[in-house]
Each structure stands twice: as structure tokens, then as C-alpha cells.
Amino acid sequence: MDDDIADVRQSILQAQANLEYLKEDSDQLTQDAQIMKDDITALQETNVEGALNLTKEARERSQKAAQQVEQIQADNGPLKESENNRARTNNLMKNAGVSYKQTQDEDQQTLRDVAQKIRDLEYEIPGLNKKGDFILNLFINF
């Protein structure tokens, strides 16, 4: 019986040692789980913060682009200035074309007038030659 009691005591002590070991192991696992939970929470916060930062940066870029578009499209912006320049250029080209055509027409008429005067002079040359011969003969005979 003493042996049985000793065996039971030994078993109890062994069980208590195992229980103590399991308790320490459980405490360590609980601490590890808490550390992992804290790490996961920190990682999630970092991810959320990172996503928030990326969203803020994208929003800022979008707002900046929208402002640039507004500035470009403003009444005094580059787009309106470009439209005005194109309209002025088109008017200049149209007016230059009209002016060129008018000048060309005037030049053609001037050439026709000069050609007509030349023909008129050529027509009068034989008569002038006769008068010149007549005057020359008068001087010679005088």
C-alpha cells in the first residue's frame, strides 16, 4: 500500500509538473497570440493608413488636374487664347486671299490697259512716221 501511495504521489507530482509545464506553455501561447494579434492590428492599421494616404494622394492629384483643366478652359486661359488666335489667323488668311485676288485682278487689268496702250501706239506709229517724214522734208526743202 505504501508503494501504491508512493506511486499515486509520484503520479500526482508528475501530473502537477505536467500541469505546471502546460500552464507555462499555455501562458506563453497566450502571450504569443496577443503579440500576433497586436502585430496583425498594427499591420491592418498600417495597411489602412497606407490606403488612406494613397487615396489622399490620388485625390490631391485629381484636384490638381481638375484645377489645371479649369485654368486651361477659363475665359482668359490658353484654350480660349488658342481659339482666338485661330480665328484671327483664319480671318487674316481669308482677308489675305481676298486682297491677293483683288490685287491680282487689278494687276491683270493694268497689264491689259498697258497692252492696249501699246497696241494704240503701234497703230499710230505709221501716221507719226509719215508726219515725221513730212516735217523732215520741210526742213530739208526750206
pLDDT tens for the chain, 142 residues long, are 777 787 788 888 888 888 888 888 888 989 989 999 988 888 888 888 888 888 899 999 999 999 999 888 888 888 888 999 999 998 888 888 788 888 899 999 999 999 999 998 888 888 777 777 777 777 777 6
17: which residues sit within 8 A by CB, 6+ positions away?
Answer: none
Residue 56 lies in a domain: yes
Residue 29 lies in a domain: yes
Residue 24 lies in a domain: yes
Give the pTM: 0.42
Count of the separate structural domains present in the chain: 1
Residue 102 lies in a domain: no
Domain span holding position 23: 2-73
